[in-house]
Structure 1
Amino acid sequence: MTALIGPDTTDPRSAADRQHRPIASALPQGLVSLLDHEQHAHTLLPEAVWAYFNGGAADETTLRANAQAWQTLELLPRVLRPLAGGHTRVQLLGRTLAHPILVAPMAHQGLAHPHGEHATALAAAALGAGLVVSTQASTRLEDVAHSYLPDADRGPLWFQLYIQPDRGLTCELVQRAEAAGYEALVLTVDAPVQGARDRERRAGFVLPAQVSAANLTSMPVPTQALLQPGQSALFDGLLAHAPTWDDVAWLRSITHLPVLLKGITHPADAVEAVRCGAAGIIASNHGGRTLDTIPATARLLPRVVQVVQGDVPVLVDGGIRRGTDVLKAMALGASAVLVGRPILHGLTNAGATGVAHVIRLLRDELEMAMALTGCRTLADAHLTLA
């Protein structure tokens, strides 16, 4: 037992139970919404892990605003419209998706369930949800692909990338993703440094020994920069290797895969992303985990969509908790949405079964919202906002 987990009195699952849990287990009774999943998962996870998964930066203003902004948007139903033969299908990067719900990249899913990303991949594939695998996954990217790709009804498989200070290591990650069958790269551009995650620090979160970034085992141990008097450990040390727009061009030059940029919030950056040849944009504030008081993504999305003018698809994440939220995102011009923390809650509650249930709930709610607002397809979503 690690110091993170603490004694069994603080965690209702014993160490042996956690280690030998099946990849899919029975869904606990009474879970009929994503909020139910969240509340039940909170009873299962150690408080430090809960703080890591669910906390945000600083005062968590943006974290709260993300969900609240979707709730504030109002739907105005149309009635007596023809709905027979309706569907949730969308087109994205040359593929037809059964629905516009993708699993966002999330690190260290082994903290939620011993099968981690493997369970998430099985569930996402079975439910036709796209899957974005984190560089900091607790499962090797090849193993996740092996779990996801064989399903005939799966969505797209993408690999989320942080450009490493060692370009050789970045090239290695890209080559591994290509060889494993990943279909796009998602470059995270909004986190050159970690945000001030007060809740994590108060809880004393540290990674336990049994969970690590499985794709970064070859990363060299960082050395302390030699600073001159008056220099900043951040600006003159860590950020000396922070990526720039030139790195986006370099990344595109070493891969045949389309590159999407995740973390675009400013319209000017959206324009630059298109100029640099990005295949898509993900409007994201990192789930409120980096810079606090950034506007909610529901507010940012229309500005990004407006300047991109349809040149590339724009996806959005942050605070999606209901099928009505998905419909509202599509109404604002999104091509698809990414869902993060609710997936971790489902994973905690019942492994692959829990993840599948979360995705199913969102899709069912999306279909109900479409029917009740008079949308036969998501091409009609723009008609739904009050």
Structure 2
Amino acid sequence: MTDNPDLLETYRTMAAKQLAIGPLAFLNGSAGAGLTQRANRLGFDDITISPRVLRDLRGGGTAIQLLNQSLKSPMLVAPIAYQTLFAPQGECATAMAAAAQGAGMVLSCQSATHMAKVQQAGEGNATWFQMYWQAAGRAATLKLADTAAATGFSALVLTVDAPVNGVRDAEITAAFRLPPDVTAVNLTNAPQPEFAPLKSGESLLFDRVASCLPNWDDVAWLCRNAPLPVIVKGVLSPADAALAVTAGVRAVIVSNHGGRVLDGVPAAIAALPAVVDEVQGAVPVLMDSGIRRGSDIFRALALGASAVLIGRPVMWGLVVNGAQGASHVLRMLRDELEVTMVLAGCRTIADITRDCVHLKR
């Protein structure tokens, strides 16, 4: 693999050959026509790096502090569900990879592995737990938060941009269904709401599903009552970012779910600057969706992100070579970030500021 100039692309290609059509559609597929998924990548092409030269770079590095967590680089593994679809050890292998590289990991509440096992495999490095608002309401959501806290997680990542699944053409075409041995084991005992049969003229989505969805008052309630800091993931609008800060969240993640939910929304990297400007440093702003190179991470940091989340690329490594493959992907991205920093004249992450890049449009 070392003779390929784009190792990450090699991982993607090899993973596509190794996965069955269903899991591959689940991993790589997008919502709708894939406009947003493509925009996530093209958005980085609109940002050029403006390097400075002849600077003193001695003693530099990529280490950061994020919500009282020390990371060797500004990277976390994004929450991805059902990782045993991609490798037998699933989330445990990913946790080992993150621990090996000093990266953070956000464990999906739809993990196919019990959260305690993942914590043990990652030596406590899987410190954030991603969750959705539970359909049964506040009590059920708080119970899940309490379980995460008791298991050793240090923050809750409340994902708010996917109250329902997007229309994912590739999964529909592949007739993807979870195998019987792959389930969301951490939600097995979660209570479910009970509904009477639909009445004439009643909408399943707008009446039944909508009645279970949270609002900003619920987020504020969770921030007040949860045993851990709450981070909101899935924000593209500056107005929503402001509401999140008012609700009491400790960080905001700019994300369009990797283009998997609503097709036609802006690229996450394009939405990032306005959210950063709106928040004005009140809380850290992170981003995900579309990062494929260390230079992409540099661009995101220059536009105000405190850190980034890496999703599909880590899974490609996991498919190809388990924990070692996932670890290699994280190491490659960190190495590329370090090279970019040196060539751009940035000694530390704090040196990566908005004047380090130029927006073409």
TM-score w.r.t. length of structure 1: 0.89
Matched AA of 1:318:
S
Q: Does 1:166 align with 2:136?
A: yes
Q: Does 1:328 align with 2:295?
A: no
SS in 2 for 1:74: strand
1:251 maps to what in 2? 222
1:120 maps to what in 2? 94
1:185 maps to what in 2? 156
User: 1:233-382 alignment to 2 at 5 Å?
Assistant: 233-382=204-353
Q: Quick check: 2:136–2:192 contact (8 Å CA) kept in 1? A: no
- CA displacement at 1:222 relative to structure 2: 6.4
Q: Distance in 1 between matches of 2:182 and 2:216?
A: 33
1:46 maps to what in 2? 20
Change in CA separation of 1:29 and 1:85 when aligned onto 2, cut-off 3 Å: closer
Q: Distance in 1 between matches of 2:30 and 2:222?
A: 29
- Provide Cα deviations, 1:208-245, integer angstroms capped at 9, x if missing partner: 11211111111356656522222211111122101111
- The 10-residue stretch of structure 1 (218-227 or 82-91) with the greater mean CA deviation from structure 2: 218-227
C-alpha RMSD of the superposition? 1.6
2:109 maps to what in 1? 135
Q: Distance in 2 between matches of 1:48 and 1:95?
A: 36
Q: Distance in 2 between matches of 1:267 and 1:158?
A: 24
Q: Quick check: 1:225–1:237 contact (8 Å CA) kept in 2? A: no
Matched AA of 2:183:
S
Matched AA of 2:284:
P
SS in 2 for 1:269: helix
Change in CA separation of 1:55 and 1:222 when aligned onto 2, cut-off 3 Å: farther
- CA displacement at 1:91 relative to structure 2: 2.4
The runs of 5 or more residues in structure 1 that have no matched partner are 1-27
Q: Distance in 2 between matches of 1:307 and 1:131?
A: 27
- Provide Cα deviations, 1:54-73, integer angstroms capped at 9, x if missing partner: 11110010011111111331
Q: Does 1:106 align with 2:80?
A: yes
1:21 maps to what in 2? none
Q: Distance in 1 between matches of 2:49 and 2:38?
A: 21
- Provide Cα deviations, 1:184-211, integer angstroms capped at 9, x if missing partner: 0000011111111111101110001121
- CA displacement at 1:138 relative to structure 2: 0.5
Matched AA of 1:291:
L
- CA displacement at 1:172 relative to structure 2: 2.6
- CA displacement at 1:29 relative to structure 2: 6.2
Matched AA of 2:107:
V
2:201 maps to what in 1? 230
- Provide Cα deviations, 1:293-325, integer angstroms capped at 9, x if missing partner: 100011100010000000000000000000000
1:157 maps to what in 2? 127
Q: Distance in 1 between matches of 2:318 and 2:343?
A: 30
Q: Distance in 2 between matches of 1:222 and 1:70?
A: 42
TM-score w.r.t. length of structure 2: 0.95
1:10 maps to what in 2? none
Q: Quick check: 1:270–1:304 contact (8 Å CA) kept in 2? A: yes
- CA displacement at 1:165 relative to structure 2: 1.5
Q: Distance in 2 between matches of 1:229 and 1:132?
A: 42
Percent identical pairs in the alignment equals 49
2:357 maps to what in 1? 385
Q: Quick check: 1:30–1:36 contact (8 Å CA) kept in 2? A: no
1:148 maps to what in 2? 122
- CA displacement at 1:177 relative to structure 2: 0.7
**Which of 11, 35, 60 is the aligned partner of 1:86?**
60
Matched AA of 2:132:
Y
User: 1:207-222 alignment to 2 at 5 Å?
Assistant: 207-220=178-191
- The 10-residue stretch of structure 1 (225-234 or 361-370) with the greater mean CA deviation from structure 2: 225-234
Q: Quick check: 2:83–2:91 contact (8 Å CA) kept in 1? A: yes
Q: Distance in 2 between matches of 1:29 and 1:234?
A: 49
- The 10-residue stretch of structure 1 (192-201 or 306-315) with the greater mean CA deviation from structure 2: 192-201
SS in 2 for 1:268: helix
Q: Distance in 2 between matches of 1:162 and 1:271?
A: 20
1:5 maps to what in 2? none
Q: Distance in 2 between matches of 1:44 and 1:318?
A: 23
- Provide Cα deviations, 1:265-299, integer angstroms capped at 9, x if missing partner: 11111001000100000001111111111000111
- CA displacement at 1:252 relative to structure 2: 2.0
Q: Does 1:175 align with 2:170?
A: no
Q: Distance in 2 between matches of 1:268 and 1:253?
A: 21
1:195 maps to what in 2? 166
Q: Quick check: 2:56–2:347 contact (8 Å CA) kept in 1? A: yes
Matched AA of 2:30:
G
Q: Distance in 2 between matches of 1:40 and 1:319?
A: 19
| Aligned residue pairs, count | 355
